[in-house]
Structures are given as structure tokens and as C-alpha cells.
Amino acid sequence: MGAVRLSAPLRIDGHLDEAVYAAFPPISDFIQMEPTAGEPATEKTEVWVFFDQHNVYVAMRAWESRPDLVVANEMRRDSGNIRMGDCVGFSFDTFHDGRNAFQFEVSPLGARVDGQSTNERQFSTDWNPVWDLAVGRFAGGWTVEAAIPFKALRYQPGAAQVWGFNARRNNKWKNEIAFLARVPAAFGIGRGSFAASLFPTLTSIDAPPGSKNLEVKPYVVADLTTDRSASPAILNDPDGHVGLDVKYGVTQSLTADFTYNTDFAAIDSASASSAISSGSRSRSPSRRRRRFRPVRMISSPAGSGTRSASSGRSRAPSWSSAARSTTAIEPASGSARPASTRRRGSRSSPPPRSTGSICRAGPSPPISSGRA
């Protein structure tokens, strides 16, 4: 498949009414991954890929036989709930290595997900580039127009680019997931979207030389304090802070981050039990489940009662087909008498073997060992 070069920037409004959409046929014929793997998608989806000097454009038209059943109820960026409803997605493997890709996802409401997949398995939403997006509705479904700046992407040196590209459509009311390229049902929606080795080849992209990407994000925090119990009393005392975050793309594989007066309000706070001190190590309460050592009762000589032994390790029960008998212990005399005999072939487990220390205890009521 090939991308189309535009002589003028595409207007991102979600309407798909420019002449270029009629002049160039879309890519369609999506293939189901679910529920019927390998079968053609039951709802038509059309895709266009354009580019100009500054951006690469992706437009999609999702035809829908029942527009009233479209499900979209999430607007938070990078939310995993977006793909729980109707949505479309597209991916670029810009190095054409069959392993890594830039991932994009859009809902009918305009909610977006952007991230990077690595090694066809891991996915991170920490990558949040600046890109334009618009969605629209028409009588037969909904549309998407997106413009991703070349400077937001990393790709191989050279003007003529060969990328991998794939697109996906989620149809919620049919529980149908379809891809532009066939994806095995065993992959699921996540791994299927990350499977760069299955992406079709996208050619005819003439990308500009890799620019030095520079992102600047300033912030301002203002506050007003009132404390009538203070001496002297504080009434509407204004204060504020300013800061700056800078991200600079040094090379295609190296990015430098700078910060001034970091906005710690955007950082998850540590546990209240944690502390920072010089020369000492702080400890937090362990959240691991504790293991309790097994305790068994052992008969003792007459008059000395019973004793308990704790073992630091547990042993798997041993099973025997031979007949076993359980024994009741009488603390008063220390003698033992047969209490019951199991039928031959029944299963029984002996008490765990003791390897720990022995501690004595006073007399206790009769107990029985073995299985109840």
C-alpha cells in the first residue's frame, strides 16, 4: 500500500469532504479477528494515508448499519476504557523492524490514546505527542481525521521511507474486532495491535529530515492562604510558583529532558510511612503475606503433659495404601490405645516432621492426631 502526497495541508475537521477523498480510493476489506477469525468484517471501514511536508495524515470512515447502537462513553486520554467501546486504531512501524510501533486509538467522541509498543509486547502511554484530531458523524456511521507531525515521530534517515502500517476497528454492539491485515485470534486485541511483524508495508512516504524536536511546557501554580489561628493572623495571603519542563530530541534515539522548579503536584506522593534522611535507611511496612509455621503436638512421658514442636518447613503429605490407625493420647498415664482403624486403601497423611526446637507445656485435654 502507498501513501498519497498532498500539495496543500489537509483541513482537520472530521468531515472527509475534500476532493482528495474522491480522487483516491480508500483501503478497506478489513478481516475479522473476533468473533469469526479470518472472515471479512461485517461493517465496512475505509482508510486513507496522506502526507505533506510537515504531517502524515490518517483518515478513516467507519460505516455502521446501526448508528444508534454505537457505544462511546470515555473521554479521558490514554484510558483503557476507550477500547471497551466503539473505536478505531492505527499503528506506524517507522523503522520497519517488525518489532516496535507508534500506536494511536480514537473513539467516536474524539477521545484518544497514543503510545509506543516495543518488542511486540510492551506498551507505554508515556509518549504524548502533540497531534491534531477531529471526528464527525454522517448518516451511515462516523469519521476520523488525524494529523501527526513528522517531528513527533522517529524514523530512519533518508527521504524515501518504508514503514509498516496497520489499522483496527472495534464494533462493540457486534463484539467484532477487525484488522486491515489478518491477525490470529489467539493474539487478542492488545498483542494484535502490537504485532508489527504482521503490518502491511507502507511506501511512497517522502519524509523531511529528522528535525530537532523541542517541546516546552511551562506551568504556573497560584495559591491563597488564610490562617486566623496564627499569630499574627494570616488573611488571603497570595503566593505562587512557576516552572518549566523542556524536552529536546538530540538524535533519533536520544532525548534530553530538562526541568526547572519541578511541579511536584503532578507526581504521585510517597507512602506516609516513608522518610528521607541522610545516612539512614527507611523501612516501610511489608505487604507480603506472612507464613505461619506448622505446629504439632507430641506425646510426652507420663505426668509431663504434652509438648509442641514448631517446624520452619512443611512437607507434602505422603499417601500409603497400607492400613493406618489413629491413636488417642491420654496425658494422665501417657499410654496410647488404638482409637480407630481405617479400611485398607484409604488415604491418610502423617503429621509433618519436626525439625525445630521443643518447648514444654502443661497438661492439656486429650487430642487426636491424624485426619478427622
Question: Do residues 61 and 190 share a domain?
Answer: yes
Place of cell 539512614: 280
Question: Do residues 137 and 196 share a domain?
Answer: yes
Q: Low-confidence residues of the chain, pLDDT below 50?
A: 268-300, 303-341, 345-346, 354, 356-359, 361, 368-372
**Does residue 340 fall inside a structural domain?**
no
Question: Do residues 237 and 304 share a domain?
Answer: no
**Cα–Cα distance for residue pair 139/273, rounded to 1 Å:** 58
Residues 182-234 pLDDT 10s: 999 999 999 999 999 999 999 999 988 866 677 888 888 888 899 989 889 98
Please name the residues in contact with 138: beta carbons below 8 A apart, sequence gap of 6 or more.
none
- Choosing from 161, 181, 206, the residue where a domain stops is 206
Report the pLDDT value the prediction gives residue 162, as an integer from 0 to 100.
Answer: 95
Question: Do residues 247 and 154 share a domain?
Answer: no
- Choosing from 180, 206, 232, the residue where a domain stops is 206
Question: Do residues 219 and 188 share a domain?
Answer: no
Report the pLDDT value the prediction gives residue 256, as an integer from 0 to 100.
Answer: 84
Taking CA 221 as the corner, what is the angle to CA 219 and CA 225, rounded to the nearest 5 degrees?
175
**Does residue 83 fall inside a structural domain?**
yes
What does the radius of gyration of the chain's CA atoms come to, in whole angstroms? Answer: 34
Report the pLDDT value the prediction gives residue 349, as an integer from 0 to 100.
Answer: 53
Question: Do residues 259 and 361 share a domain?
Answer: no
Domain hosting 83: range is: 4-206
Cβ-contact 37, 177 below 8 angstroms: no
Helix, strand, coil shares, percent, the chain, to 5: 10, 40, 50
**Residue 274: all three cell numbers together:** 516513608
**Does residue 344 fall inside a structural domain?**
no
Question: Do residues 237 and 194 share a domain?
Answer: no
Question: Do residues 110 and 192 share a domain?
Answer: yes
DSSP per-residue codes, 295-324? EEEEE-STTS-EEEEE-SS--PPP--SS--
pTM: 0.64
Question: Do residues 40 and 85 share a domain?
Answer: yes
Report the pLDDT value the prediction gives residue 281, as an integer from 0 to 100.
Answer: 44
- By DSSP bridging, strand 4-5 and strand 45-51 are parallel
**Does residue 36 fall inside a structural domain?**
yes
| Strand stretches in 228-294, DSSP E | 234-251, 254-260
- The total of structural domains in the chain comes to 3
Place of cell 504556573: 220
Report the pLDDT value the prediction gives residue 266, as an integer from 0 to 100.
Answer: 55
Question: Do residues 219 and 200 share a domain?
Answer: no
Question: Do residues 219 and 195 share a domain?
Answer: no
Report the pLDDT value the prediction gives residue 303, as an integer from 0 to 100.
Answer: 47
Report the pLDDT value the prediction gives residue 211, as an integer from 0 to 100.
Answer: 62
